[in-house]
Structure 1
Amino acid sequence: MYVYEKRLQCPVNIKIRNPQTAQFILSQYGGPDGEASAAFRYMSQKFTFKNPRVAGLLNDIACEELSHLEIVGTIVHQLVKDLPCDEVDTAGFEKYYVDHTLGVWPQSAGGVPFTATEFQSSGDPIADLVEDMAADGAIV
C-alpha cells in the first residue's frame, strides 16, 4: 500500500554534534505538536470522512507527516552521533541518555513521552479539521 523510496525527501547532513539542540528538536519528533502526533492525527481522522477523496487526502497527509518524522529523527540522530560520555553531562543530556543512550525516542523537550493523548480524533469531521488547523498553527 505504501512505497518507501529509501531516501530522505530533504537530505540532512549535519557534521557538528549539538545535544542541546537535539533536546529541543526531539519535541518536533514526539512532542504535542510533533510529527508523530500529526501522522497519527490524520491517519485516525481519515476514517470519519464519507467522501473517499477527502479520506484519501488525509491518508496522503499522514504519509507526508511520517516522512517529516524520518527527517526530524535523522536530524536528532546526527546531532548526537558519536557523543562522547564526558560530553553527556556538560551538554545537559544525561537524563535522556540514561534511558535512551543515543537512540531517537519520541518525547517532548520537557521529557514527556509521546502518547495518543497528543492528538484528537473525535468522529466529527468539522471538529477534527478545526483541531488539525489549530495543531498546525493556523489561526482558527
Structure 2
Amino acid sequence: MYYHDKRLQYPVTVEKPDPAFARMLQQAIGGVEGEIRVCMQYFFQAWGNRAPTTKYRDMLLHTATEEIGHIEMLATAVALNLDKAPTSLQEEGAADGIVGAVMGGGSAKGAIEGMIHKNLLSAGLAAMPVDSDGVPFNMSHIYASGNVAADMYCNVAAESTGRTLAVRLFNAAHDEGMKKMLHYMIARDTMHQEQWLAVIEELGKEASMPIPNSFPQENEDQQNNYNFYVTSLDGSYPEGRWTAGPSIDGKGEFTVFRNEPLGDEPVLGAARPDSGAQAEQIG
C-alpha cells in the first residue's frame, strides 16, 4: 500500500508560463525516457522479484514510489506553464508564437496545435500521460525480466537516457523555477544511476556475467561465445577492448572471426494447399 502527502517532493514554480516548454516537459512524463517509464519499470521489477530476501524488492519499491513524486512535479510544471496559454487565435500572445513558427518554416496549424490542441481539448490545460507529440505512453518500454542483474542494467540505461533528457530540458529552459526543478531531477537521476550500478557491484559485477549466470556455460557453443564477428567485405574491423585479450567476465578470450555462412541455404519447399498461396506455389 502507499501513502500520499499533498506537498510536492521539491518546489515547482513558474514565473513566466511557456506553453511551448510545457509541451517539451511532456516528453519527461510520457516519453520513452520519461518518469512514467521508470516508475512502472521499478514497480513491476519489485512486484515480480523472487529471492531468498526482499532486499532488492524493498529498494525498488522505495525508488518506484519516489518516481511517482517526479511525475507529480512534472505534471504540476506542465499545468503552470499552460496557465496563460492562448485558447484561440484571437487571444493576445497567440499570434507571436504562430508567426514565429511560420517564419521558421512551420505551419500556423502546427503551431496552434503545439500550444493548445491536446492539453486544452483533452485535459483542460493540464498534463497528460503522453509524450511531447501527444502519443500516449503504452508501457511497451517497461523491462522487468525476473532477472535482477538484467533488470539493473536496463535501469542504468533508463536513468542515463532520462538524465540526458533532463539535461536537454534544463538547457532549453528560460524560467528560473524550471531550471531549479530540473537541477533537482538531474541530481536524482545521478543517484539512481549510481544506485543500480551499486547493485550490479553487489551481485559480482563482471563475475556475474554472462546473464543469466545460472545457465551452465559449457552448454553454449564454445567456438562462438567470445569472438567478434567482422561483416565488412574487405575484412577490416575496428580494433578495441572487444577484439583481443581476456573477456570482461574473465571466462574466455576475445578473438576476431571474419563472418562466413555456417549453415546451408534455407529451402522451405512448396506451399500447403490450404495456405492461401498461388497455385504455382503449391507442389
Contact 1:27 1:106 in 2 (8 A): no
Structure 1 residue ranges (4+ consecutive) displaced by more than 6 angstroms after TM superposition: none
Q: 1:60-106: CA deviations, max 9, x gaps?
A: 00001001111111110100014231339835324323433412111
TM-score with structure 1 length normalisation?
A: 0.88
Return the alpha-carbon distance in structure 1 between the equivalents of residues 40 and 23 of structure 2: 22
Higher relative strand content: 2
Aligned match of 1:107: 130
Q: Does 1:44 align with 2:47?
A: no
Tell me the amino acid that sits aligned with residue 20 of structure 1. Answer: A
Q: 1:7-49: CA deviations, max 9, x gaps?
A: 0111112132211000110110111111111110000001224
Tell me the amino acid that sits aligned with residue 65 of structure 1. Answer: E
Q: Does 1:79 align with 2:81?
A: yes
Return the alpha-carbon distance in structure 2 between the equivalents of residues 84 and 136 of structure 1: 34
List alignment gaps of at least 5 residues for structure 1.
none
Return the alpha-carbon distance in structure 1 between the equivalents of residues 39 and 149 of structure 2: 18
Return the alpha-carbon distance in structure 1 between the equivalents of residues 69 and 135 of structure 2: 23
Tell me the amino acid that sits aligned with residue 43 of structure 1. Answer: F
Q: Does 1:132 align with 2:155?
A: yes
- Report how many aligned residue pairs link the two structures: 140
List alignment gaps of at least 5 residues for structure 2.
89-93, 99-110, 161-192, 198-283
Return the alpha-carbon distance in structure 1 between the equivalents of residues 5 and 124 of structure 2: 28
Q: Does 1:55 align with 2:57?
A: yes
Bigger RCO of structures 1 and 2 (CA < 8 A, at least 6 apart): 1
CA RMSD of aligned residues (A): 2.2
Post-superposition offset of 1:116:
1.0
Higher relative helix content: 1
Between the aligned residues of both structures, percent identity stands at 28
State which structure, 1 or 2, has the greater radius of gyration over its C-alpha atoms: 2
